[in-house]
Amino acid sequence: MNMRKMKMVTLVLLCVLTAGLCGIFAYGMSGRGIYIGDQSYESYGADPKLVFEKEVPLDGIDTILVQYDMNNNDIYLYEGEKDVLTIREYNELDLKEGDLSTVTVTDNKVEVRGKRRNGKEFQVKLGRFGFRSVIGYTEVILPASYKGQLSLLTASGDIKRETAVVLDRGFRAETSSGDIMIPEITAENVSLKCVSGDIQVTSVKAGSSDLAGKISIATSSGDIDVDQLTGEMDIESTSGEITLKNLAGGTKIKSSSGGIESEVITGNTWLETTSGDVTVQRIDGDVRAESSSGNIRILAGGGARTVGTTSGEIRLEDTAGAWEARSSSGDVSIRAQEGSGSIATTSGDIDLELGKLTGSLDIDSSSGWAKIRISADNAFDFRADTSSGDIGTFFDDDLNFSRKGDSARGTYGDNKAGSSIVVRTTSGDVQVTEKR
């Protein structure tokens, strides 16, 4: 029995040791750096020092690629006074020449590439063990006169700039496990991507004076926070919150596991979340919004609304236009100045307040009541059916009721426009009152 216990303990220790070694190996392969005896402890924590500098004339250059996807250098973008591109690399270690960045110029393109260093830095020396991320960063200094293509890529570092980026061609920034923080970006097209980091930008404008450009912003497990966006937008987060303020242009926003919040959107919009709420203060334009498990709230604006949720409530406020709202398990509430459309819920109540009916209205609730408040100035054909519930309207005298009172037909007002209201409930009351 003791021998069996010893074998079990030994097996557990071996598993822990193997997992630890695998973790160290994975950490080193990520480019963060593993140091076992290769560097003296005195070098740890030292201030990064300049290890590489190069200036490149920009005559005839219209494309710049800065690529540090094999190490964890941060990239800092600055505006310079000289009409040259200046690259400065800083590191707290004394890097050898083969570990320094390279700068190559081919025709109209400059490429700056960082080197993978972890392979050489992983050396075992008994009694000397260090495990940490080495501090290193690269400064990219560009004159304001440069307007060409600019791409900044890093594996696990941040990409930052304190002043605006203004280009005539495209701008691209990507990092695997770092943040992107830039106040303003103006370019033909803009692409910002993080795998596990946040994106924080004050303003992004893509396109020219007569043509909207494309804006692509994506993060796998990080938040997106942008104040102003102008262009054709595609914004996506797999596991993070999306917070936006003012958007102008066609918009597509998708979140797999996180909420979507925005203040004002102008233009046609597609909103989709798998597990999270959608809240927009105002949308002027047609909207398609879908949520598998979350609420959808659009609180003002005009345009068509196509909204659906599997498990959540739908709330449309101060709207004008056609709508299609459906919820499998949740209430639907609509406040419309004018409009028409359909509302359906499997397990939930329907509450509609409408000023002017501009067409047909179809309401269907399997398990819940349907309440309608509508202006008396309207005219329409009316039909209501309920399997288990009562029917009551402010124009009962214009209707013919079935003997059981579970069905009603009739016309309210002089319906020259041919408008209609049809209401069906399986288990719930139908109430139509006058909006005052």
**Residue 208: per-residue pLDDT:** 85
- Dist. CA 22–CA 328, nearest whole Å: 46
**Residue 109: per-residue pLDDT:** 98
Q: Decide if 31 contacts 71 (C-beta within 8 A).
A: yes
- Dist. CA 230–CA 219, nearest whole Å: 19
**Residue 296: per-residue pLDDT:** 97
Q: What is the pLDDT of residues 183-236, one digit of tens each?
A: 999 999 999 999 999 999 999 999 987 889 999 999 999 999 999 999 999 999
**Residue 209: per-residue pLDDT:** 78
**Residue 72: per-residue pLDDT:** 81
Nearest to 278 by CA among 320, 228, 330: 330
- Helices (H) and strands (E) counted in the chain, each on its own, are 2, 36
State pTM to two decimals. Answer: 0.83
**Residue 127: per-residue pLDDT:** 41
Report residues of the chain scoring pLDDT below 70. Answer: 1-13, 15-46, 117-134
**Residue 43: per-residue pLDDT:** 45
